[in-house]
Amino acid sequence: MRRWLGLALFVVPACARPAAPVAPPAVAAVAAQARGAESPAPAVVERVDASAQELFAAAQVEGVFVLRSLTTGEQIVSDARLAGVGELPASTFKIPNALIALERGVLGGADASLPWDGVEREGPREWNRDHTLASALRDSTVWFFQEVARRVGPEAMQASLKAFAYGNADIGGGIDRFWLSGQLRISPREQVEFMSRLHRRALPVAPAHCALVEHMLTRAQAPGWSWRGKTGLTEHDGLAVGWLVGLAERGPSTWAYALMIRTPEKELERLIPLRVDLARRLLVRFGALPEAAGQ
């Protein structure tokens, strides 16, 4: 078993790597001010569209896709039951972790850095160096966000997760492990609700911090559209779980989405490219991204 795979990954095809440089905090603040504070959310109306299940079946995985239009409130779920199942968030937790660190003053912005401790870790070689918040989020650097969580501390972390209404908000299992192998659980529906609140600036976080983290999630973009998201990968109880959670913007419309796929633990590595491919295909299928996105 390759331990680093069970922790977190942001390994994606080169074409899906974030295409745009991270905006400095000042630029992010301007963007947040332009969008304003919390905007009213349309009522969520959910419908089941099981057509996505054919893609999961073809890939030989158990999976669910949740897509919410932040413009109309329509929410599509491919499997109503699985959309409500809580799972370890794995590296998708780097999104709230970054927000909390910025809001609590643990990190001062995208360029805030932490020194590498010199310990060679099994995993992507990019992990074994100094990192900034921007590079650690891009490379999904586990040690960086573990140190961030330690600096935030249990009391502040617990309070923030409860304020965010983030899944079950349970930090049992250790301050630097609870999202990797501890008690924290969040469902695909809850992931979409969290991303919706992030985009609407409806979290108890400064709009500038929301805007900055959202920008740092950019995977690909071109005139007229953008694709933002964070991967996650973990294993427990004989299962491998893969995530991709984020936002898609096309023209005047924005969507929040969450893809979760599961296989037997022995097939974990197969989920690394598959979660990205399936999410892209489903976002294209439902009109949230153009065919060219991520290619």
Alpha carbons within 13 angstroms on the beta-carbon side of residue 288 total: 29
Write out the residue range of the structural domain in which residue 141 sits. 3-226+262-285
Q: How far apart are CA 262 and CA 275, in angstroms?
A: 10
For residue 189, being part of any structural domain is answered with yes
For residue 234, being part of any structural domain is answered with no
For residue 64, being part of any structural domain is answered with yes
- pLDDT at residue 5, as a whole number: 41
For residue 295, being part of any structural domain is answered with no
- pLDDT at residue 125, as a whole number: 87
The per-residue pLDDT for range 199-253, each reduced to its tens digit, is 999 999 999 999 999 999 999 999 999 999 999 999 999 999 999 999 999 999 9
pLDDT at 24 over 90: no
CATH number of the domain residue 45 falls in: 3.40.710.10
Specify the number of domains making up the chain: 1
Task: Flag the least confident range among 25-34, 149-158, 186-195, 245-254.
Answer: 25-34
**Tokens representing 120?**
């060679």
Band of the pLDDT at 38, cuts 50, 70, 90?
A: low
Q: How far apart are CA 92 and CA 117, in angstroms?
A: 24
228: nearest Cα among 18, 26, 8, 36: 18
**Tokens representing 153?**
């501390």
For 281, counting Cβ atoms within 10 Å of its Cβ (0-12 exposed, 13-18 middle, 19+ buried), the class is middle
Mean pLDDT over residues 170-177, rounded?
98
pLDDT at 269 over 80: yes
Band of the pLDDT at 27, cuts 50, 70, 90?
A: very low
Band of the pLDDT at 273, cuts 50, 70, 90?
A: very high
pLDDT at 265 over 50: yes
Reduced to 3 states (helix: H, G, I; strand: E, B; else coil), residue 222 is strand
- pLDDT at residue 16, as a whole number: 35
Q: Does residue 209 contact residue 198 with C-beta atoms inside 8 Å?
A: no
Detail the DSSP E strand segments found in 18-157: 45-48, 62-69, 74-77, 113-114, 131-132
Q: How far apart are CA 20 and CA 134, in angstroms?
A: 12
- pLDDT at residue 68, as a whole number: 98
Band of the pLDDT at 191, cuts 50, 70, 90?
A: very high
Mean pLDDT over residues 156-166, rounded?
98
The per-residue pLDDT for range 110-126, each reduced to its tens digit, is 999 999 999 988 778 89
What percent of the chain lies above the pLDDT cut of 90? 82
Q: Does residue 276 contact residue 231 with C-beta atoms inside 8 Å?
A: yes
Residues annotated catalytic, as ranges: 91
For residue 248, being part of any structural domain is answered with no
For residue 137, being part of any structural domain is answered with yes
- What pTM was computed for the model? 0.87
For residue 235, being part of any structural domain is answered with no
Task: Flag the least confident range among 119-123, 187-191, 261-265.
Answer: 119-123
Q: How far apart are CA 154 and CA 183, in angstroms?
A: 14
Task: Flag the least confident range among 21-30, 182-191, 266-275.
Answer: 21-30
Mean pLDDT over residues 157-168, rounded?
98
Instruction: Name residue 88's amino acid.
Output: L
User: DSSP per residue over the chain, as a string?
Assistant: --HHHHH------GGGS--SPPPPHHHHHHHHHHH-SPPPPPPPEEEE-GGGHHHHHHHT-EEEEEEEETTT-EEEES-TTGGG--B--GGGGHHHHHHHHHHTTSS-STT-EE---S---SS-GGGSS-EEHHHHHHHT-HHHHHHHHHHH-HHHHHHHHHHHT-TT---TT-TTTTTTTSS--B-HHHHHHHHHHHHTT-SSS-HHHHHHHHHHTEEEEETTEEEEEEEEEEEETTEEEEEEEEEEEETTEEEEEEEEEEEEGGGGGGHHHHHHHHHHHHHHHTTSS-TTTT-
Mean pLDDT over each residue of the chain, to the nearest integer:
89
Higher pLDDT, 2 or 268: 268
The per-residue pLDDT for range 45-87, each reduced to its tens digit, is 999 999 999 999 999 999 999 999 999 999 999 999 999 999 9
Provide the phi-psi class of 243: left if phi over 0, else alpha when psi is between -120 and 50, else beta: beta
- pLDDT at residue 204, as a whole number: 97
For residue 255, being part of any structural domain is answered with no
The alpha carbon dihedral of 165, 259, 71, 84 has a sign of negative
The alpha carbon dihedral of 278, 131, 134, 170 has a sign of positive
